[in-house]
């Protein structure tokens, strides 16, 4: 992972546009020369290590063949490409090994921050070799929460008073700030992909936290459609309260939004 991160750093410029060529996908999302080079490097390295394991990456063509695999590498060569391209150091290289629909190994390398997060199922979670743990906060009021502005507005609408944290360009790093206790909780809008969350999901869980949809279900990976609904992350008790507040605020907003649409 350090080698993959070093490739990304070749093109990274702090607080300045990347030196990499930038193009855009059909959906409008940016992709850089660095994304593609890291993707190729990781594919070659992991395929040489375990050619029998399936592959799913943001920057590789998807194939239904992966659905026949019990084990799958799930890769995001650069999570937070927009931030990376603009010179924000909060981007990450993410790799997870998924078996039977759930991650069993997760590694996230944030090269510009010199941070490496690692977890194995049942083996705990570490940042730069040191064990990490989610916040022990039990009261959602005053909690440090990272969320998109629309979801933060729902929380405020529910009456919750909280300390809003930055919405980091990398969703994986947003979840990992919960895993290491810097944030008490985080929300994510619908349509995160497997590669955005799989590695961080395991690291968060092994740090004592939870990542679920608003019905309390943990994400399942390697499905035909690798997208997920809105998600909440945090220590289990606090996370459940966070979901309730988000749902309550969204419900309160519906009549107003419906009236505006008339």
Q: How far apart are CA 29 and CA 8, in angstroms?
A: 18
- Model confidence at 242: pLDDT above 90: yes
pLDDT at 22: 86
Assign 260 to helix, strand or coil: helix
Record the tokens describing residue 242, joined without a space: 């966070």
Tally DSSP H helices, then E strands, for the chain: 7, 16
Name the residue ranges covered by the structural domains of the chain. Answer: 2-131, 144-260
What is the tens place of the pLDDT at every residue in 205-226? 999 999 999 999 999 999 999 9
pLDDT-wise least confident of 18-27, 29-38, 146-155 = 18-27
Q: Which of 50, 54, 58, 2 is nearest to 29 (CA)?
A: 58
Pick the CATH number of 144-260 from 3.40.50.1110, 3.40.50.2300, 3.40.190.80, 3.40.1010.10: 3.40.190.80
CATH of domain 2-131: 3.30.540.10
- Model confidence at 255: pLDDT above 70: no
pTM over 0.85: yes
H or E element, residue 175? helix 171-179
pLDDT at 258: 47
Phi and psi torsions of 243, nearest 5°: -60, -45
């Amino acid at each position: 992972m350090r080698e993959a991160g070093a490739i990304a750093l070749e093109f990274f410029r702090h607080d300045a546009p990347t030196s990499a060529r930038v193009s855009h996908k059909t959906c409008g999302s940016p992709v850089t020369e660095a994304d593609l080079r890291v993707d190729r490097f990781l594919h070659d390295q992991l395929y040489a290590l375990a050619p029998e394991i399936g592959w799913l990456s943001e920057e590789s063509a998807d194939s239904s063949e992966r659905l026949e695999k019990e084990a799958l590498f799930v890769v995001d060569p650069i999570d937070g490409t927009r931030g990376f391209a603009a010179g924000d150091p909060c981007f990450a290289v993410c790799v997870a090994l998924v078996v039977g629909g759930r991650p069993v190994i997760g590694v996230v390398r944030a090269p510009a921050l010199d941070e490496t997060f690692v977890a194995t199922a049942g083996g705990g979670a570490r940042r730069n070799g040191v064990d990490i743990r989610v916040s022990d906060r039990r009261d959602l009021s005053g909690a440090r929460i990272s969320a998109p502005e629309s979801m933060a507005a729902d929380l405020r609408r529910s009456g919750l008073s909280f300390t809003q944290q930055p919405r980091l360009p990398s969703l994986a790093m947003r979840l990992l700030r919960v895993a290491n206790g810097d944030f008490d909780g985080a929300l994510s809008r619908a349509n995160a992909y497997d590669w955005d969350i799989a590695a961080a999901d395991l690291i968060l869980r092994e740090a004592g936290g939870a990542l679920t949809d608003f019905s309390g279900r943990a994400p399942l990976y390697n499905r035909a459609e690798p997208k997920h609904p809105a998600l909440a992350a945090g220590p289990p008790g606090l996370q459940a309260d966070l979901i309730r507040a988000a749902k309550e605020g969204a419900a309160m907003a519906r009549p107003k939004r419906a009236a505006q649409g008339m």
